[in-house]
Amino acid sequence: MKGSRRNSRSLAVKGLYHWHINASSVDHIFDALSAEDEYQKADLSYARKILGLAISNADNYFESLKSSFDRPLDQVSPIEKSILLIAMVELDTDSDVPYKVVINESVELAKSFGGTDGYKYVNGVIDRYLKGVRQ
């Protein structure tokens, strides 16, 4: 089902944004968002997995990314943080998703949901992170 993971990532961005702003539970966020018509083609189990892992491992993921940021974490927008968490989940747990796909999908999410140059920031952070872990 082409696009189901892309739709899942889109749902996860909205869910993680909601979590950053309201600190709601994964179940509450997932139930509210998965009922939206636009997510009927999403792989809901994949979206739930991303949400759960991103939220439960957020502190560890942000610590891993710390040296890749050019500003304090509290100055990174909630959308960019959400996209970076999704990327970290996929890099950390989904060996079937090539890192180039993770980067591309993250950039596309940032273009869709982020600020004007948010995609450049997301791309740069992931690129610096990957260079650091590959050395």
Q: Are 110 and 118 in contact (CB under 8 A)?
A: yes
Pick the CATH number of 4-134 from 3.30.70.20, 1.10.357.10, 1.10.940.10, 1.10.1740.10: 1.10.940.10
Domain ranges across the chain: 4-134
pLDDT in tens, 58-96: 999 999 999 999 899 999 999 999 999 999 999 888 667
> At residue 3, does pLDDT exceed 60?
no
pTM: 0.89
Distances (CA, A) of 127 to 34, 43, 108, 123, 133: 31, 27, 15, 6, 10
